A and B are shown apart, each in its own frame.
Chain A
Amino acid sequence: MLKDELRGIYYILLKDLRAYYFKPPNISWGILFPLVLSLAFSLRSPGDLETLAPGLIAMAAVFGTTSMEAIVITFERRTGALERLLLAPISLKSILLGKILGGAVFGAMISSIMTVLAVTGFKVRVAAPVWFAASLLLSLLTLSALGALVAVSVKEVFEAQTLSNYLRFPMIFLCGVFLPVEAMPLPLRAVAYFLPLTYSVDALRASVTGAQNLSGLMIDMTVLTLFLIAFFTAGNNLLKRSLK
Chain B
Amino acid sequence: MEIAVRTLDLTKRFGDLVAVDHVDLEVRRGEVFGFLGPNGAGKTTTIRMLVGLTTPSEGTALVAGYDIRSDIVEVKRRVGVVPETSNLYDELTVWDNLLFASRLYHVPRGERAERVEGLLETFNLQGRKNTKFGRLSKGLKRRAVVAAAMVHRPEVVFMDEPTSGLDVLSALSLRRYIKGLRLKDTTVFLTTHYIEEADQLSDRIGLIVEGKVVTVDTPENLKNAIAYKPVIEVHFKENPDPSLITEVESLGRVEREGRVVKVFAEDGVGALDTLLHIISRYKMGIEYLNTSRPSLEEAFVSLTGLSSEVMLAEKDRGRG
Contact = CB atoms under 8 A, between A and B. Distances in A.
B259 interface: no
Given A20-B91, A80-B87, A243-B52, 14 more contacts: A11-B100, A15-B100, A19-B89, A19-B91, A79-B90, A81-B88, A83-B83, A83-B87, A84-B87, A87-B53, A87-B76, A89-B76, A89-B77, A244-B54
B51 interface: yes
Interface in B81-109: 81, 83, 85, 87-92, 96, 100-101, 103-106
B55 interface: yes
B73 interface: yes
Given A81-B87, A88-B76, A7 B53 contact: no
B59 to A, nearest CB: 15
A210 to B, nearest CB: 44
Contact of A91 (B73, B90, B100, B105): B73
A87 B85 CA distance: 14
Contacts of A87: 51-53, 76, 81
Given A11-B103, A244-B54, A84 B88 contact: yes
Contacts, number: 63
Interface in B30-57: 51-55
Interface in A61-91: 79-81, 83-91
Interface of B: 51-55, 73-74, 76-77, 81, 83, 85, 87-92, 96, 100-101, 103-106, 148
A83 B87 CA distance: 8
Contacts of A244: 54-55
A86 B55 CA distance: 13
Contacts of A79: 85, 87, 90
Q: Identify the 8 closest CB pairs spanning chains A and B, nearest first.
A: A80-B87, A89-B76, A19-B91, A89-B77, A11-B103, A88-B104, A80-B85, A89-B73
The A contact surface, by secondary structure, is: helix
A197 to B, nearest CB: 31
Interface string A11-48: 11001001110010000000000000000000000000
A4 interface: yes
B69 to A, nearest CB: 12
B interface majority secondary structure:
loop
Contact of B105 (A15, A18, A81, A88): A88
B106 A89 contact: yes
Interface of A: 4, 7-8, 11-12, 15, 18-20, 23, 79-81, 83-91, 243-244
Contacts of A15: 89, 92, 100
A90 B103 CA distance: 11
A43 B52 CA distance: 56
A90 B104 CA distance: 8
Nearest to A16: B89
B134 to A, nearest CB: 10
Contacts of A88: 76, 104-105
A19 B97 CA distance: 10
A125 B52 CA distance: 52
Contacts of B53: 83, 86-87, 243
A80 B83 CA distance: 9
Given A86-B52, A89-B105, A243-B54, A23 B73 contact: no
Contacts of B106: 4, 7, 89
23 contacts: A4-B106, A7-B103, A12-B104, A15-B89, A15-B92, A18-B96, A79-B85, A79-B90, A80-B87, A84-B104, A85-B104, A86-B52, A87-B52, A87-B53, A87-B81, A88-B105, A89-B74, A89-B104, A89-B105, A90-B104, A91-B73, A244-B54, A244-B55
A213 B96 CA distance: 50
Contacts of A84: 87-88, 101, 104, 148
